[in-house]
Amino acid sequence: MKIRGVFVFAKARRKLDAERLTYSIVIPAYNEGQRLEATLAKVLAYVAEMGWTAEVIVVDDGSRDATPEIVREWARRNSIVRLVENPGNRGKGYSVRHGMMEAGGDVLLFTDADLSSPIYEAETLIAAIQQGADIAIGSRWLRTELQTERQPVYRQFFGRLFNLLLRIVLGLRFKDTQCGLKAFTRRAVQATFPRQRIERWGFDPEILFLANKAGMVTAEVPVEWAHDQRSKINPIRDGLKMLIDVFLIRWYDLTGKYQGASASLAASK
């Protein structure tokens, strides 16, 4: 099968019944008071348009602004919205894991609070899961014409270097591991997130590395995407931390810190 240029091999998987699925949308948030209102409005409108049985979980990562109060107000008006709070500022990786472990859907996805990839691109990821993937990840680089606003050249340069490192050190053959829109089946969540150890920006390749070790099918699909000038990632400071995280992932693997991932996958079938 081919999904917008990406082959997904589904012969070993049973297609999911779309009419019976429930969905969880996890949004990690740190000091997102200025843009969270608009994000929640778009997400809830999309859920209603799709007719989904869904929950929207906002994970507050120790925000110092009005983020938690905004979510509480939305939750009072919308029963599908839920606030989950971290014990202080722990990082995006911790936030996504916290939200995923709290979520109860059959299909679980997370999206960045800025919706750099529009929420309607969730349909593309879910189509990949419907056709047999365990995990579907949005990609900015499979079809670059879908980028409505490009990153600055220096960010693109550091991103390509990071991607090359992932290929060499972790054997990840994806063009883009860092796009903030990813979807998982429940069994994929159970097989990966409990074993996640990276709590900040470097968690994406760790999850994909664990998925590979567990023998899961990951589909990379092109999505619309726009760079947000308010991005909180510093390409030098955070890039260095992510570089260290890549080698930590390899070290954790070599020292047996990830033992049990495959067994968990089998147990969750």
Q: State the DSSP code for 78.
A: -
Query: How many distinct structural domains can be found in the chain?
Result: 1
Looking at every residue in the chain, the average pLDDT score rounds to 87
5 inside domain: no
112 inside domain: yes
Question: Does 16 have pLDDT greater than 70?
Answer: no
Expressed as residue numbers, the domain containing 216 is 18-261
Asked if 23 and 123 touch (Cβ cutoff 8 Å), the reply is: no
**99-132 as b/e, with b when 16 or more CB fall inside 10 Å?**
bbeebebbbbbbbbbbbbbbbebbebbbbbbbbb
**Which CATH number does the domain housing residue 205 bear?**
3.90.550.10
137 inside domain: yes
3 inside domain: no
Residues in the chain, how many?
Answer: 269
The residue assigned the tokens 């049985």 is 53
Per-residue pLDDT tens digits for 98-137 = 999 999 999 999 999 999 999 999 999 999 999 999 999 9
More confident residue, 4 or 79: 79
> By C-alpha distance, which of 218, 213, 210 is closest to 179?
218
82 inside domain: yes
pTM of the model: 0.85
Q: State the DSSP code for 42.
A: H
199 inside domain: yes
Asked if 208 and 134 touch (Cβ cutoff 8 Å), the reply is: no
Q: 210: part of which helix (H) or strand (E)?
A: helix 203-213
User: Residue 231: its pLDDT value, please?
Assistant: 64
Question: Does 229 have pLDDT greater than 70?
Answer: no
Q: 112: part of which helix (H) or strand (E)?
A: none
User: Residue 262: its pLDDT value, please?
Assistant: 42
Question: Does 90 have pLDDT greater than 90?
Answer: yes
Per-residue pLDDT tens digits for 202-219 = 999 999 999 999 999 999
Distance CA(48)–CA(167), nearest Å, equals: 39
More confident residue, 90 or 269: 90
175 inside domain: yes
Give 7's strand partners: 2
Question: Does 238 have pLDDT greater than 70?
Answer: yes
Q: Is 194 exposed, middle or buried (0-12, 13-18, 19+ CB in 10 A)?
A: middle
189 inside domain: yes
Distance CA(105)–CA(83), nearest Å, equals: 16
pLDDT band at 61 (very low <50, low <70, confident <90, very high): very high
Q: Which two tokens stand for residue 135?
A: 């995990």
